[in-house]
Every structure is written in C-alpha cells, then in structure tokens.
Amino acid sequence: MPKPVLKFNADGKFRILMISDFHSGPDCNPKLMQGIEALVAETNPDLVLVGGDQCLCKDTPEEVKAYLERILEPVLKRNIPWAHVYGNHDRECGIDLKLEQQVCESIKGCLSEAGPEEISGIGNYCLEVLSSKDKSVAYHIWALDSNRENSDYVERFGLDPDTRFVLTDGFGDGSCQASPMFDQVMWYYNESLRREKQAGKKIPAIMYFHVPIVEFCLLYRNPEETDLVGSKREWVCCGELNSGLFMACLQRGDVKGIFCGHEHLNDFQGTYCGITMAYDSCVGYNMSAHDDLRGGRLIELNEDGSFETRHIKLMDLLGVDAMRNPDFFEGGCKYFIRKL
C-alpha cells in the first residue's frame, strides 16, 4: 500500500496536531479516545504526530496493533496520515521496539520509519511536505529517538558502573533521562546538508522527539528574554549530557521549531537563538496529569517557511468532561503563566 503524500494546501498552510504520553494499554481510560477525538475535530490536521510514551503493558504484536488502532481511531477514520517517535517508557515493557515499529508501519496512514540501523535509536527519519504548487519539497519534519536513561550509557561506552551522570550542580534540573546521541546528531546534520544540496536550497524544518533537550531549561530560567508563554509545573526532565543537537540545528539553519512531550505538567513555549521550543503537555489519563493542562499542540506550517504554534487544552473543548474526575479538580498550585 503506497504511503500518503504530505502536501501544503492551496492556501499555503499545513496543520499538524502533536499528542503525547498516552501511558496506557488495553485497559485505558475511555476519556483518552474522547480527548483525541475532540483535538482532531477541533484542529482538522493534515498530519498527526504521536510524541512518545504511547504504548505500555504490551505483550504481543497483535495486542499492540489492536490497542493503537483503537486509540488512534479518530485519526484513522478520517484517513489522516500519522507518525510517531518513542518515549523512555515505550522501551521499558512489552515487545521489542524493532517489532513494535513493524506493527506501527503496518497500520493505515503510518509514515514513521525505523531509520538507519547504523545509528542509535529506532525512529530517526525525515518527512517531506511538498509545495502546494508542484512536487518540490517545501518543509521537513525531522524525528529523532531520544532514547531512555543516561544509565544506559554505562555499558555502551564502557564506563565504570558507579558513574554519576547527575551531579549536584548540573546543566539541567537533575533528571536521569537520556537524549538523542551524537551519532544521531551527525546523521541529522549530514542528511540535512545532503537534502539541501539535492534541492539546491535550504529546506525549512521542525523537529520532534520525546524527551526535551537541556536548552529547554533556558526558557523558564529566562522568561522575558525568551518570550515564555504557558505553564511550568514540574522540572524539565532532560538529560544532563548535551549531545550538541541544538547547536547542530542552529548551524544548519533549517530547524526553527523543536517539540517534545515527556513532561505532563508543562505546556510552555519560548524562543532561544531564533528556535522555538515547546511542549505538548499530555493527553493521557492513566498517569499524573493536571486537568487544565491536558491536551495537544497545534503546529501550523506556512509555505513561506514560517510557522505558528499553540497548546490546545481539552477543558476548553470539553469542559468538565475533560476532567479525570469531575468531582475533584486536578490542578496545579505552582504556576508560571504569561498571556499571549
């Protein structure tokens, strides 16, 4: 079956809905599907990006496929193309990710790819969005696997088992998470350069993966300078080792937006060195979340190379029906919020 072709609409727009952190399995809360239905109906996307931690408690390929087709039914019934990346929890239980990748690619409309076998991770790929006028590539969507935890580096790099990655005074907020590795950064950089030479021009792009990179910390620490908007109610759980991804994006000059999931209680966005970084919060109900943040992120690409983005909250669409328990508001008490 041929894969869907992504193409700008006649008005020069291409709408993306990013949703993350389902944290569920066959026994998921039915409000998850209700929420995805509401977000898809509201945004009418041309593409849906699933940003990791979507598939837990999986035992067989058949269970995984049945679960994903059930959860993504609002997307599949509208014949909307979709793609995904993996989160840290996706590799902590159930079937091997290589097998899960085959399952995902067998589902209608999936554009994800396993990516080059010689680099780290599964799900490193680039999607092309064609011009509304012809078959030339007008935009790229880069996907990277942000891996699991930095403790996984010990065996891989031959380090002492007692190696400490999280120090008392570190770069980030003290999380044990990993990030895209240096060989993935090299792959992006070289592939971006190759595609520029092939096209005869630099292709504007956005990038998405699950775990934020350490530069996300600069946003909330410098809210005025980075034009921060949205809410921060938990730490930025990024890796402490910096693989140089942000600098690679900056030097290549194509990626203008980086989008992540992972944190369920953050939906903020800001801009540093011309690159917008943003969370999509979470859409799931089977883990820690706040009712007034749960939702997804709309990313609207413009054919001139620019884009706009905003977080969409389920409570704005569904009211009390978006709450896990209508009798008890699960909200946050520590905010940074600034109005647009």
Q: Which pLDDT score is estimated for 73?
A: 97
Element housing 195 (H / E): helix 182-199
Query: Is the pLDDT at 220 greater than 90, yes or no?
Result: yes
Query: Is the pLDDT at 291 greater than 70, yes or no?
Result: yes
Q: Which pLDDT score is estimated for 327?
A: 86
Q: What is the pLDDT of residues 153-170, one digit of tens each?
A: 888 899 999 999 999 998
Q: 139: exposed, middle or buried (C-beta count within 10 Å: 0-12, 13-18, 19+)? A: buried
Q: Which pLDDT score is estimated for 119?
A: 97
Query: Is the pLDDT at 239 greater than 80, yes or no?
Result: yes
Q: Which pLDDT score is estimated for 57?
A: 66
Contact 267, 230 (CB under 8 A): yes
Query: Is the pLDDT at 335 greater than 60, yes or no?
Result: no
Could you tell me the residue range of the domain that residue 273 belongs to?
6-322
Is 13 strand, coil or helix?
A: strand
- The total number of structural domains that make up the chain: 1
Amino acid at 191: E
pTM to 2 decimals?
Answer: 0.96
> Which residue in 105, 129, 141 sits closest to 259, CA to CA?
141
Residue 130's DSSP bridge partners are 7, 137
Instruction: Please tell me the distance from the alpha carbon of residue 245 to that of residue 178, in angstroms, as a whole number.
Output: 13
Please give the mean pLDDT across all residues of the chain.
93
Mean pLDDT over 100-104 rounds to: 94
Q: 17: exposed, middle or buried (C-beta count within 10 Å: 0-12, 13-18, 19+)? A: buried
Strands 275-279 and 269-272: antiparallel
77 part of a folded domain: yes
> Which residue in 1, 15, 2, 19 sits closest to 84, CA to CA?
19
36 part of a folded domain: yes
Output DSSP code: residue 19.
Answer: E
pLDDT interval class at 334 (50, 70, 90): low
Mean pLDDT lowest among 3-17, 195-209, 281-295, 325-339:
325-339
% of the chain surpassing 70 pLDDT: 96
| Tokens at 278, concatenated | 């943003």
Q: Which pLDDT score is estimated for 26?
A: 78
Query: Is the pLDDT at 37 greater than 50, yes or no?
Result: yes
179 part of a folded domain: yes
Mean pLDDT lowest among 4-8, 261-265, 336-340:
336-340
340 part of a folded domain: no
337 part of a folded domain: no
Three-state SS string over 219-237 comes to HHHCCCCCCCECCECCCCC
335 part of a folded domain: no
333 part of a folded domain: no
Query: Is the pLDDT at 292 greater than 60, yes or no?
Result: yes
Task: Count how many residues are written for the chain.
Answer: 340
Query: Is the pLDDT at 197 greater than 90, yes or no?
Result: yes
CATH of the domain at 261: 3.60.21.10
Element housing 209 (H / E): none
> pLDDT higher for 10 or 340?
10
187 part of a folded domain: yes
Element housing 72 (H / E): none
